[in-house]
Structure 1
Amino acid sequence: MGIVPPDTKLTPRPDWVPTWDNLNAEQKKLYAEFMENYAGYFAFTDREVGRLLDAVKQLPDADNTLIIYVVGDNGASGEGGSDGTFNETKSLNGVPTPIEDNL
């Protein structure tokens, strides 16, 4: 798509991260839903940041305004493992959430 230059070198995949082709059907369904959720988060965030920038442009000193935006959510949390969890306390106590519950 031309988004990433062709000579870009990707970081190596960690051994504990399976490839998409090695996931079972339930994992693919769940992980696709994770990706949808994260895409929704970023679409909403993008819209709201756009609203903020539009408001700043209306300020009399907009040309002298510096905006620093830091995204602090990478969409993942290691506590729930690769299949996630809806109960972080449970996972912190060593009780994994079955993938069926997450689905």
Structure 2
Amino acid sequence: MRNILLTLSALGMLAAVPASAGEQRINVGVGELTCPSCSFTVAAAMRGVPSVEIVDFIEGQAWGEGIYVVNYDDQEANPDMIVNAVLANGYPAEVLQPGGS
């Protein structure tokens, strides 16, 4: 019985903690990815923005283009910060609408 009460108590405490409401996901289209080091440079620039996590990379339709699927906490970062980090390294970048390319 005591174990059941402890379990229920722990579950109640977990339910009271809010989910990460600040987590957002965007797709960032990047061009001029002409070599493996380009992709590494862009990824490093994005990860330099607080809370950014790259979830996936999708090859673009044209050679040298790609789409980074990025999660971030909107209380620590915003899409402009992510795009500007890429632009600062000399690569064209933009936030894509869902389903866009």
Taking structure 1 as the reference length, the TM-score comes to 0.25
Q: Name the structure with the higher strand share.
A: 2
Q: Which has the higher contact order (CA 8 A, sep 6+)?
A: 2
Higher helix share: 1
TM, length-normalised to structure 2 = 0.26
